[in-house]
Chain A
Amino acid sequence: MKHRIISGKIIAGVILLILAFLIPIFLDNPYYLHIIILAMVASVATLGVYLILQTGHLSLAQAVFMAIGAYSSTLLVVRVGLSFWLTLPLSGLIAAILGTLIGYPALKLKGAYFAILTFGLSEVTRLVLINSGSVTGGTGGIPGGISGIRAIPAPNPIAIPGLPVVEFISKGAYYYLSLLLLIITLVVIYIIDRSRKGDILKAIKQSESLAESVGIDVAKYKTLAFATACFFTGLDGAFFAHYIKCITPDDFGFWISIDYLIYAIIGGTGNVFGPVLGAIGLVILTNLSTILAQYHVIFYGAIIIFIVILLPEGLISLHPQKFRWICRRFKVIKVLTVSGLKNGVFRK
């Protein structure tokens, strides 16, 4: 069984990786770096949505676990005085544990009901955060009042022997940390996808009852997938809090969860890279199209509609044949429009 030692895909991947590492060196503009960091943060959460989708369930509550990660890390650092480097994994664990507790009963619900439950969870979380001012505000030394936390400290500088001390002041350090998080999440979920565990999840997605009857512990695997997604989302939330340095419950609302879902769908849910592509593409698009002032929402909406019609399997399904097919579709539209104009269809 001969395989090509280095396939084209691996080469492309390595190049992308190198480019990703080089970006902060060549791109000085902190605003652009900021957008890319936000894009990478969104990618991790979107990957969480993707993993849960692989079990056949639609989660509208990823932002909740971002919040859990964010608030856990923040409170542990500010109130308890732990170092960010300790609270980061802790936040992931807390999110994973809560994910297990919530997920195990929740995943017993079928499709739509699970989604509705996660919607409810989003709202409950928002209200809890708003109303727990005594924990998240007040005299603990976290300025910012009732429901918001301001002045979250940056991560402590890392001293890796042999290298200069890494301080988290400029965007560069945050960029690499976020990139590292994204890469780790991507690699783990990729491995899960391609392994026997991935086969089990696909089997569960296609028929839970059949999977159960051939010996697969469906509840266990669904909960495991959910908890894993929550773990990475929790890490992501913790990073986000210490990067943005100011969090409010609205940062983690239901609409944010919907955003992650849209990124996953637009990017394509066929493989691991679709969600990342979707997240990065759409976050950059959203932020850059603000030059269109009030029209940027229309622009964004139009793009999404376009993609849903022309590329129902997502951006990731774009390859040369598809591209030609799309161009042909365009020609049809153009011809129809022109002939319509000629024949006065559009005249009043």
Chain B
Amino acid sequence: MVLLEVQGLTKRFGGLTAVNDVNFTVIERDMMGVIGPNGAGKTTLYNMVSGFLKPTKGRVFYKGENVTNLKPHELTFKGLVRTFQNNNLFQEMTVFKNVLVAHQHHSKDMLRRPLFASFAVWKKDRQNIEQKIMKILGYMGLTPFKNEMAKNLPHGLQRALGIAIASATDPELLLLDEPLTGMNPQEVITMTGLINGLREKGITIMVVEHNMKAIMKLCNRIVVLNFGKKIAEGSPMEIQNNKEVIEAYLGAEELR
């Protein structure tokens, strides 16, 4: 089933065309990579798909529905969630609370006890919610840090927390924005495994990344942007052998 369809998506900032007539589709259970040199328009594309920016032209369809002008929180309710490039976290909250806040929008809010709730119901719901949060934290390897302030986490764990937060909203389509930036090789291996694991859980994923090895390993389809235009789309094999892509971006890099 086609999960996401992007038609003629264009964004102009005054005289600068950041994204120019981009079309592609994402099918359920895909792992779709989005690559391109810096400034190619990848984050702008993400911003438009996830509702943070209004497109100048073009439309976005999610599960057949026209969602072009919806706000980000509405898209999240539908199952379309994004992560952020820079460490965008609730810095003054603990790791646990970060994930809790993300989870709360579809829980019945028993964690902050409403004035007239029955204590037993409250307690049971609270346990359920805590369990769910701990499961998410456990999956991302954040369990030992659950009471640590987000701002005190090392970089790799902050990125992991970002993904934990996004996955706490029960996404169907997850837009990852450079999840591997600033990680050492060991962290890259761990994170790549985790992202694969998310896909196995049934989540469809799009990944913007610069780490070519990881992209080629992870993704089954790749879209290449350059100067706002889509210059290629296909399997990793096809992309690696695409002359235009190599010219624009990959240069002389050795690919596996």
Contact = CB atoms under 8 A, between A and B. Distances in A.
B241 to A, nearest CB: 36
Contacts of A211: 90, 101
Nearest to A214: B102
B72 interface: yes
Contact of B71 (A195, A199, A203, A212): A212
A180 B114 CA distance: 24
Given A214-B105, A215-B76, A203 B90 contact: yes
- Taking chain B's interface residues, is the majority helix, strand, or loop, or is none over half, making it mixed? loop
B160 to A, nearest CB: 15
Contacts of B91: 206-207
B104 interface: yes
Contacts of B166: 213-214
A217 B71 contact: yes
Interface in A212-247: 212-219
Contacts of A210: 84, 88-90, 165
B90 A196 contact: no
A213 B77 contact: no
Contacts of B71: 212, 217, 219
A213 B76 contact: yes
B111 A213 contact: no
B112 A213 contact: no
A280 to B, nearest CB: 28
A207 B93 contact: no
A211 B93 CA distance: 13
B238 interface: no
A202 interface: yes
6 contacts: A196-B104, A199-B112, A212-B72, A213-B72, A215-B76, A218-B73
Contacts of B168: 214
Interface residues of B, number: 31
Interface in B85-100: 88-93, 97
A209 interface: yes
Nearest to B114: A195
Interface of A: 194-196, 199-200, 202-203, 206-207, 209-219
B90 A209 contact: no
B122 to A, nearest CB: 11
B73 to A, nearest CB: 5
A202 to B, nearest CB: 7
Chain A CB within 10 A, most for which of B73, B84, B112 = B73
A80 to B, nearest CB: 37
A58 B81 CA distance: 30
Given A194-B112, A218-B73, A207 B89 contact: yes
Nearest to B112: A196
Contacts of B68: none
Nearest to A215: B105
B10 interface: no
Interface in B200-239: none
Chain A CB within 10 A, most for which of B50, B101, B111 = B101
Chain B CB within 10 A, most for which of A196, A211, A217, A218 = A196
Contacts of A214: 73, 76, 81, 101-102, 105, 165-166, 168-169
A177 to B, nearest CB: 26
